[in-house]
Amino acid sequence: MRRMRFPKGAALALASACGLCSGLVCTFDPGVPNEPSIPTTRVALDEATANITITRSAGSSSASVSATITASSGRVVDLASDQAISVNGKDLAGPDNSSGDYSTTVTAGDEYTIRVTEPTRGVETTVVDAVDFSVTSPANGATASLAGFSMMWSNDDPNYQVVVEVSQTLFDDANVRKFGPFDDTGEITFTQSDLRAFGQGASLKIIITKTSSQAIDGVAAGTVEVNFSKSVSVTPGP
């Protein structure tokens, strides 16, 4: 028995003609495997909105980059061969078939250079500084009171935003609390009420993430956000 495959678009016609397919088993092609499942469009980049997020954790020599590029219609922009947005010389790859996001990975550095290449305008460049800081108190492995304690870090900047995540797994019970975002003042004070979900007997992991934000040149709108995270573990005490 011979099997024949037909494009998906021919399904209705074939359904009505199945009586004519004597000796054949008709199967329908579901479509091109890598065909995007989201609608895309092409526009000049100075008419698009681009939002880029650069994320790095302490101890990592690389930073992950994710981005969305959209037209005024809300559709994802599919970059033409002569268009590009790059970070530190690496072009964003995409869009992803399911999410529509672009991405790449770059070597971590003191700054990140974003270049927008649009054939109708040339190349426009934005340079953003990397975010860096150190946790000054409490030290990793120190004891912190569940009645309340303060956490401090260096290089505070009121132009940055901070999110602090506290987590603990105790007797197979996982608890997570997030604080922020708030302006970077270089410290946060946890009250007894803030810490009521946690107990003694397992360490608390505290992750501090600082974020800077800056507009991107060469696009109609959009920002580049640089995120940097550091963590410490403390022993909860009374």
d(CA 71, CA 9): 28
Do residues 231 and 139 share a domain?
A: yes
Number of domains into which the chain is organized? 3
Q: Is residue 150 part of a domain?
A: yes
- Please say if the pLDDT value at position 14 is more than 80: no
Domain identity same for 146 and 210: yes
Residues 139 and 119 in one domain: no
> What is the domain extent for residue 120?
40-129
What is the 8-class DSSP label of residue 33? T
Q: What is the mean pLDDT of the chain?
A: 89
**Cα angle, residue 198 at apex, residues 197 and 202 outer, rounded to 5°:** 155
Residues 74 and 161 in one domain: no
Residue 219 lies in a domain: no
> pLDDT tens for residues 78-94?
999 999 999 999 999 99
| Angstrom distances, CA of residue 194 to CA of 11, 47, 49, 186 | 60, 45, 38, 19
- pLDDT at position 36 is 52
Portion of the chain with pLDDT greater than 90, in percent? 84
